[in-house]
Every structure is written in C-alpha cells, then in structure tokens.
Structure 1
Amino acid sequence: MLTGMQIAVLGGDARQLEIIRKLTELDAKISLVGFEQLDHAFTGASKEKLGEIDFSIMDAIILPVPGTNLQGEIDTIFSNEKICLTEDIVSQTPQHCTIYSGISNKYLDNVVNSTNRKLVQLFERDDVAIYNSIPTVEGTIMMAIQHTDFTIHGSSIVVLGLGRVGMSVARTFSNLGAKVKVGARKSEHLARITEMGLEAFHLDHLPKEVESCDICINTIPTSIIKANVIAKMPPHTLIIDLASKPGGTDFRYAEKRGIKALLAPGLPGIVAPKTAGQILANVLAQLLEGDLDSGKESLS
C-alpha cells in the first residue's frame, strides 16, 4: 500500500489513467495537473493547477512517457493548459522526492542534477521495455499492413538493431512468414541473430542489404537510414522508424525519393494505451512501495 504518499502526476496521455487508477487503489494521495478536461474522477485524486500544488510535501512526481521537451514543457491530451517543469518547482520538493519519467533529455537531466533529485527513467528498465515491446510489435504489424499492398508473409524485411524491441520485432515478423534480416554491430548480437534462425549482417553493410528490401524497421535511436542507404532501396520499400524522436531516418531524402517513411515512437500508447498504462502502473507501484519502505526504515 502507498498510504500517506503524496504524488503529483503532471500531464500525459491515456496511459496515465491506468497509473492514476492503480496508485489511488493503493491509497496514495494524487494531485493531477493537466487533467481538467478529463470527465472521469478518481477517489483520492484531485485536479489542480500547477501553481496550486504544494510541492514541499510531494514524495514523487510522475511525468508522461516522453518526459519534457527541451524547453521543459509537458504534453497532455486532457488540457489546454501549458505545463512546464522548472528547476524552481523541483527545488521546492523534499530531498527524497523522486521524479519518474519514461525517458529523459538534456533539459530534464539538467534540472535533476542542479536540484540533486533522483530521476528514474522507466524505459531504461528491462522489464518495462520488454513488456512494452509486445504492443510495439502489434502496432508495427498494423502499420505494415496499412501502408503496403503485399502480405507480410514472404516479404523481405530488414530490422535494424537487436535491442529489446528489435528482438521482438524480428522474431514476430519471422513467425508471420517474412524473410527477416537483422543488422547489428556487436558480435554477440550477430551471434544471437544467427541462433534465432535469422540472417545476420553487420550494419556497415547496410546499403547493400536493403537492395531487395520490402520493409525496413529501425529501432536504433541514431542516424542510421541515411541518404546513401535510402538510395539503394526499391521504390516500394516502406520504412517504419520505431526509434525515439527524431528517429534514425533521413525523412527529407526518403520523401524526395518517393519512399514512404513513417516515424512511429510511442506505439504502445497509440495502439494499446490501456495495456501500456498497466505495464507502467505495475512497475511504478513496486518502485513507489520500495521508496515508502526505505523512508520508513530511515525514520526508525
């Protein structure tokens, strides 16, 4: 139980509703910012303006999966209010206050470093990323079907990266009957790809490997599908970029060549917000209970 915990939930999308539901069931006291257009009410949660919150009593601040932008602004689909997490706000919190976000950036890193607060990036955790790969794969399949005029079965698919998402994507598309090649750099990843019964190649050879590609799926959050790679692709190739913004694709050159390239970060929150929210809610509940237990031990 989270009885006695004061938590501020700032903005977000439908995934946050599952988080709020779970934490209120565990008896936490929740302050909601950026939810005034939400019709549903949660017992134990109150809608407030950012300036109305007493951050000096907050044990945790929960941000949406994207965290903030580089100006500190927080997206929310339930409000027209502009929400911004500032260094001044965080400095008002108790020293033990933990900030939870899906991912981080330079702005958020600077805020927590300058205020000496703890930041937990949920998507850095293996359990969250692996669970999240399930709706990500389903969303990728949906996009592949919507944006092509051929079946996945029998098609030539190139997957870039063998991280937690890349492995799930490669395995699932192979199970659907596609001919899957996976590009990676680490020797252990190349070995794992081969062990999975898939064709492995080093990313240095990417331009050659995409010459007969029907669908290219990128999971690497750095510039990888460059102009020299896109120039080698057949005109009908579909690029699905799952990496976080701005993705790893030269979208300008893809458009110039007439190749459809889709940036699709955050697919779990789009195709399965309830499941994606429950994944985050369950992990957050465990972490917050651990924080509460630690606080009790320090007082004893």
Structure 2
Amino acid sequence: MNIAIIGGDARYLELIRHLTKNPQMDLTIIGYDQLDKGFTGAKQAELEDIEPNKLDAVIIPVPGTDHQGYVETVFSDKQIQLKKDWFHSLKEGCIVFSGITTTFLNEAAGEAALQLVPLFDRDDVAIYNSIPTVEGTIMMAIQNTDFTIHSSNVVILGLGRVGMTLASKFAGLGAHVSVGSKHQSDLARITEMGLTPFSLEELTTHSPNCDLLINTIPAKVVTKEVIQVMKSHALIIDLASKPGGTDFKYAEQRGIKAMPAPGLPGIVAPKTAGAILGRVVSQILTEHISERSR
C-alpha cells in the first residue's frame, strides 16, 4: 500500500515508526523536513512531488484541517494546504485518516466520495486515549493546586469514554467524586460506581463546594452562573475540544484558574498516544489489504 502522512505532531513520529515495520506499507511523509532524513525509515517529500492517484491511504493530523484545508505541521516551517481538488485527484478507494473531522474535511472527502476515518470517533482509540488524558489531568491538578486530590471534592462533567476513566481514577485517589450528566443511563452508572450523580441542570448546586471541576462536554456548560458561586481556590480543567465548555473570560474576571487542555495525550504522552494510533491504523489498513486480495 502507498501511504502518505501529511503533517502531524510528536504522536505521528511513533505512528510512522509503527507503520514502517509493516513490509506491505510504503510510506511517504510530508511536512517533516526538520527531521533527520534517515530518522523515520520513510521517504520524505513535498506535497507536489507525490502522485495522489497512486495513494491507497492518506493520514492527516489529529485536528484534521482548518476551514481552508491547511494542516498542522509541527516539524516544518512550511504551510501545507490540501485543496478540495486535491482530494478529487486521489484514487478510488483511498482511505483518509484524521483524528477528528472538520467541516472542510467532511465536505472535501464527501464530494470526492472517499472513505473518511476520524480515529477519535472509534471507541477503541478513545478508550485507550483516556489513559494518558487522565494522567495529564492528574498532573495538571497536582501542579496547579495547593491541596491534595485525596479528600478533595471533584466534579466531573460528562460520563463518556474519558469521563468514565476520570471518575474511576480520581475516586481511586481518594477524592469525593460527583459526576454530572444529562443522560439517565449515565446517572445510573455513576450510582453503580459508588459515586455521586447529578443532572447537569443541578450544576450550580454542586459547584459551590467543589475544589476541582473537570469538564469533558464540548458545549458551554461551565457558565457564569456556575463559576460565580465557586470557591476562590477552585481549579477548572476543561478537556473538551476547542473552544471548550467553559466561560474562560468570566473565570479570569472572578479570579478562578480555568485551564483549557484539549489534546492532552499528544502533550503528556506522545509516544503512547502515537502507538495507539499506529496499532489502529495498521489494523484498519491490514483489513483493507485482506479485502482487496479476496
């Protein structure tokens, strides 16, 4: 398989190492000109040097593209733009991988009738990634507070794949954990876990007593009303994708530290996060090879 990796951060160095171990995969990397050319075991090239109609798969950075098709290039000073007509020039059956989708990426892949795989929408990737996310959250909590997690009041918003791991690990550290959700099934699960459940509508009755508030919900849930009644020493860590779910401006006015922290796995554990992506991408491509050979 001819695979192009276009842009990416430190996680993608491990992803590249993982894929180069497979003799069935021929890798070309674009946007890595600041690395030693012998470092990766893959061919380095410029975007204009590759032939899109010969590619079986394209892997673009975790954040996808911006609204103009530009991708993240941590290891290059050059900007890389993937225009919609470039996607149209990819060969039929080409798979496009990203971490998350964007409007531009959805439109470009849809119009070109390409299979788009947003890796973070997969349960396996999200659950594996919750481990470095939670470790990073614990690190941030320790570094930015003057009290122990043990015996502190921790409020977690959302019981998704990250929220579940957060609740389990903070409870394991001895915190008094309350979890807010709008789903009745989540509230039942929180009760089963021995933690305190509450509806998101009741957040303002729980925020006054919390020492640490952790949000995983990509919607404006930590509002002015929620922050207004919080203790002055409280810390807010927002793990939701940009722009987050917190009124950061009001938190600053109120003197409460509120920290946006999307993409923690790539910051605190890029090697592990990249290995996770490498295993899943390799599995998908191997299955694709098997299907083609039938």
User: Shorter-chain TM-score category?
Assistant: over 0.9
TM-score (norm 2): 0.97
- 2:187 maps to which residue? 190
Consecutive unaligned residues of structure 1, counting only runs of 5 or more, are none
Structure-2 separation of matches of 1:283 and 1:160: 28
Say if 2:40 is the partner of 1:55.
no
Question: Does the 8 A contact of 2:37 with 2:44 survive in 1?
Answer: no
- CA shift, 1:41, in A, is 2.5
Alignment counterpart, residue 153 of structure 2, candidates 149, 153, 156: 156
Distance in 1 between the 2:26 and 2:39 partners?
Answer: 10
Q: Secondary structure in 1 aligned to 2:286?
A: helix
Q: What letter matches 1:186 in structure 2?
A: H
Amino acid at match of 2:17: R
Residue number in structure 1 paired with 2:239 = 242
Aligned residues: 293
Alignment partner, residue 96 of structure 2: 99
Amino acid at match of 1:209: H
* 1:285 counterpart residue number: 282
Residues 241-299 of structure 1: per-residue CA shift (max 9 Å, x gap):
001111111111111111111110110111110001001100100000111112222xx
- Unaligned runs of 5+ residues in structure 2 are none
Matching residue of 1:230 = 227
Equivalent position amino acid for 2:236 in 1: I
Partner of 1:8: 4
Name the CA distance, whole Å, in 1 between partners of 2:168 and 2:140.
17
1:149/1:43 Cα in 2 relative to 1: closer, same or farther (>3 Å)? closer
Kindly tell me: are residues 244 and 43 of structure 1, through their superposed partners in 2, closer, same or farther at Cα, counting changes over 3 Å? closer
Distance 1:41 1:282 in 2: 23
Pair 1:216-2:213 in alignment = yes
Indicate the SS of the match to 2:209. Answer: coil
* Structure 2 match to 1:37: 34
Which of the residues 195, 198, 201 maps onto 1:201? 198
Structure 1 contact 62–99 (Cα < 8 Å) conserved = yes
Q: Which moved more, 1:215-224 or 1:65-74?
A: 65-74
Contact 1:6 1:30 in 2 (8 A): yes
After the TM superposition, which residues 78-157 of structure 1 pair with which residues of structure 2 at under 5 Å, given as runs?
A: 78-157=75-154
User: Which moves more between the two structures, 38-47 or 71-80?
Assistant: 38-47
1:76 to 68, 73, 78: 73
Tell me what 1:270 maps to. 267
How far 1:70 moved relative to its partner? 2.1
Q: Secondary structure at the match of 2:77?
A: coil
Distance (Å, rounded) in 1 between the aligned partners of 2:60 and 2:282: 15
Look up the equivalent residue of 1:143 and give its one-letter code.
M
- 2:148 and 2:249 mapped to 1: Cα distance? 27
Q: Distance in 1 between matches of 2:209 and 2:231?
A: 7
Q: Deviations over 1:4-52 (max 9, x none)?
A: x000001111111111111111021111110000126357511111111
Match for residue 18 of structure 1 among 14, 21, 25 = 14
Amino acid at match of 1:26: N
TM-score by length of 1: 0.96
State the match for 2:166 in structure 1. 169
SS at match of 2:167: helix
The 3 A distance-change label for structure 1 pair 40 and 179 is farther
State percent identity of aligned pairs: 54
Question: What's the CA shift string for 1:53-84, capped at 9, x where partnerless?
Answer: 11110000001111112221111210001011
User: Which amino acid in 1 is paired with 2:19?
Assistant: L
Distance 1:89 1:259 in 2: 46
Secondary structure, in 3 states, of the residue corresponding to 2:108? helix
In structure 2, the CA distance between the partners of 1:18 and 1:40, relative to structure 1 (3 Å rule), is farther
- What is the RMSD of the two structures over their aligned residues, measured on CA atoms? 1.0
**1:162-221, CA deviations, whole angstroms, 9 ceiling, x for partnerless residues?**
000001001100110111000001111000000000000000101111011101000001
